[in-house]
Amino acid sequence: MESKRIAAEKAVELVKDGMKIGLGTGSTAYWAIQAIGRLVKEQGLGIQAVATSVQSEQLAKEWGIPMMPFAEVDMLDLTIDGADEVDAELNLIKGGGGALLREKIVAAASKQLIIIVDESKDVQQLGKFPLPVEIVPFAYELTVKKLQQLGCELKLRHNGEELFVTDNGNYIADCEFGDIKDPAALHDDLNRIPGVVDNGLFIDMASLVIIGSADGEIRSKTRQ
Ligand SMILES: O=C[C@H](O)[C@H](O)[C@H](O)COP(=O)(O)O
Ligand 1 geometric centre to CA of 29 (Å): 8
Q: Which residues are catalytic, by number?
A: 103
3-state SS of the chain? Answer: CHHHHHHHHHHHCCCCCCCEEEECCCHHHHHHHHHHHHHHHHHCCCCEEEECCHHHHHHHHHCCCCECCHHHCCCEEEEEECCCEECCCCCEECCCCCCHHHHHHHHHCEEEEEEEEEHHHECCCCCCCCEEEEECCCCHHHHHHHHHHCCCEEEECEECCEECCCCCCCEEEEEECCCCCCHHHHHHHHHCCCCEEEECEECCCCCEEEEECCCCCEEEEECC
Q: Is 85 in the pocket of ligand 1 (CB under 6 A)?
A: no
Q: Is 100 in the pocket of ligand 1 (CB under 6 A)?
A: yes
Decide if the complex's ipTM is over 0.95: yes
How confident is the model over 113-160, as pLDDT tens digits?
999 999 999 999 999 999 999 999 999 999 999 999 999 999 999 999
Mean pLDDT of 196-203: 98
For ligand 1, mutation pick of 1, 3, 25, 133 (most atoms within 8 Å of CB): 25
How confident is the model over 3-39, as pLDDT tens digits?
999 999 999 999 999 999 999 999 999 999 999 999 9
pLDDT score of 17:
97
Residue minimizing CA distance to atom 6 of ligand 1: 82
Residue minimizing CA distance to atom 8 of ligand 1: 96
Ligand 1 geometric centre to CA of 193 (Å): 24
Ligand 1 geometric centre to CA of 202 (Å): 13
Residue minimizing CA distance to atom 2 of ligand 1: 97
Q: Is 166 in the pocket of ligand 1 (CB under 6 A)?
A: no
Q: Is 12 in the pocket of ligand 1 (CB under 6 A)?
A: no
Ligand 1 geometric centre to CA of 25 (Å): 6
Phi, psi of 51, rounded to the nearest 5 degrees:
-115, 155
Whole-prediction pTM: 0.97
How confident is the model over 56-111, as pLDDT tens digits?
999 999 999 999 999 999 999 999 999 999 999 999 999 999 999 999 999 999 99
Domains of the chain (ranges plus CATH)? 2-124+203-215 (3.40.50.1360), 131-197 (3.30.70.260)
